[in-house]
Amino acid sequence: MSPTTVAPPPKLDLDPAVVRKARTLAQRLGKPVVEIARTHTTVSVERATLRLAGLAGADHERVPWVNHLVDSVRSQVGLEHGVTTPVWDALRRDEAPDLLTLAQKAATGAVSFRIPERKGEATAARRSARAAVRPGIQRIDRQHAARDRLIGRLGDPERRPWIYLIVATGDIYEDIPQAQAAAREGADVIAVIRSTGQSLLDYVPEGATREGFAGTYATQENFRLMRAALDEVSKELGRYVRLTNYASGLCMPEIAALAGLERLDMMLNDSMYGILFRDINPIRTFVDQRFSRQVHARAGIIINTGEDNYLTTADAVEAAHTVTVSQLMNEYFGKEAGLADWQLGLGHAFEINPQVEESFRLELAHALLARQLFPNAPLKWMPPTKHMTGDIFGGYLLDGFFNLVGAMTGQSILLVGMMTEAVVTPFLSDRDLALQNVRYVQRAAGGLTEDFHPPRDGFIQTRARQVLSEAIDLLERITGDGDRTGRSASGSVPLLDAIADGTFGLMKRPADRGKGLDGVAPKADDYDNPATNLLEEGLK
């Protein structure tokens, strides 16, 4: 996939030394978190590895076989050594003829797992596990190549930003015709949001689903069905239509793996969203996030981060600098996991109260700051939601201003705002009106990024510098007296301390609490995971 091209943004005259300092501080803050992610595993990382080895399906109560198998291994020998060594050791000892049968037997307690003590036995088990996982990684590679071929043959939208539209009825078979209709009306990216609460399920549902609430379940079959439908309409329209879903929550690594296997193009994948807004344990989240981003990097998937959510709980002016800090952290964590600049769909939003004086100019300053700090990243620009009051006429005007800021500041991915955001789940007619709003602004003002240059030391430049300065102050305050490893003098991890204190989104999330903590395990010295090994080796 070719890197996304973005229009050069109007200049803010930011001091390069100040920008470098911000990134240096973010790296210093992120290093000890990466070390935690490198030295721990989770039940979802291990389940994702088994999925890459081809284990699928569920029992009569719809509990996936990967859950049964990982739970059985964990109960008998723990996860410190990784799940694959005891699993393929059991297969080599003829506990079952294949992986699926082993999982089915494990569900009834009919399998005995062990950590092989003899070096030759352990080596043989690891070699077998690697051979079993390799085809899953190779399939991700083939899907990446297939996307490149389709884009080469069908073409990409000529204009920027890409128009990003949400479709999610709860029923995948209703989503499909709506998604195809949205593409015909001009959408470039179709996002299928997940059923309410799926992020808190510690398993991935199986099969095609029709019972989602305010969204459609993320399953491998639903991914396959929607990707096939969008391939069909892509050929009809002569441009490649991208598909988005959510790799977040307790099953982040598994959903990332399934997305790579089924050729999704973008995935919502934020480093702190699940911690702050779903109360998922911070350590579980950071461990899962690193593995999921390694998969995304390999699959050529663009991630979308969730900084816009901070502004739904905190004031968009007072907390603007926390968005910048989060963007810097997402950039560091993403690149450390192997993502390229063109895969970093960093988020920001048009969420300032429209009653605030100069709100439009403030939005321009914030959007320009993000664009200039991350010039090669396909930023995801989010529409107003917090201050949509139910006045559909006022909402339509506010969305028009949002679209105009996107045009003036060279945003890359624009989520379509709906004037009925605060009233009902938008109807198809509302979606069509919203698309008309976007198309009008793009036709009338799409080239404004070439002409718009805020005056030196004027309101917009001054505000952008202020937000960046406040972001640096916050980074310095969080890092405190940290040493070269990034840890504080007391040995704690400053970023985890800041999350616990409610620094981001006004949510306090201690590292020793939250959902999913019991699914985290420290790695032993002989821990082995063939999926991680293959991803880090860059298997061709």
Active site residue 386: no
Catalytic residue, candidates 89, 270, 308, 430: 308
* CA triple 377-380-381, angle to 5 deg: 130
Which residue in the list 164, 217, 273, 332 is annotated as catalytic? Answer: 273
∠ CA 184-187-191, nearest 5°, is 120
Q: How far is CA 61 from CA 44, 58, 202, in A?
A: 20, 8, 15
* Phi and psi, residue 415, nearest 5°: -80, 125
User: How many residues in the chain?
Assistant: 540
Verify whether residue 265 is a known catalytic residue: no
What's the whole-model pTM score? Answer: 0.94
pLDDT tens-digit map of 232-272 = 999 999 999 999 999 999 999 999 999 999 999 999 998 88
**Which has the closest alpha carbon to 43: 103, 83, 81, 77?**
83
**Binned average pLDDT, 10 residues per bin, the chain of 540 residues:** 56 94 96 97 98 97 97 98 98 97 97 94 97 98 98 89 92 96 94 93 96 94 98 97 96 98 96 91 97 98 91 89 95 97 96 96 97 95 92 94 95 92 72 92 92 94 98 94 59 90 87 96 97 82
Element (H, E) at 49: helix 43-52
Smallest Cα–Cα separation from 44: which of 194, 257, 196, 195?
Answer: 257
Q: Residue 520: which H helix or E strand, with range?
A: strand 520-522
Collect all residues with Cβ–Cβ distance below 8 Å to 69 and sequence separation of at least 6: 50, 55, 83, 87, 102, 103, 106, 107
Cα separation of 9 and 410, whole Å?
6
Query: Cα angle vertex 121, ends 115, 123, to 5°?
Result: 95
Q: Given 89, 240, 380, 430, which residue is catalytic? A: 380
Q: Let me know if 119 is a catalytic residue.
A: no
pLDDT digits (tens, 9 = 90+) for 314-347: 899 999 999 999 999 999 999 999 999 999 999 9
Q: Between the CA atoms of 89, 95, 100 and 106, what dihedral angle is there, to the nearest 10 degrees?
A: -100
User: N- to C-terminal Cα distance for the chain?
Assistant: 16
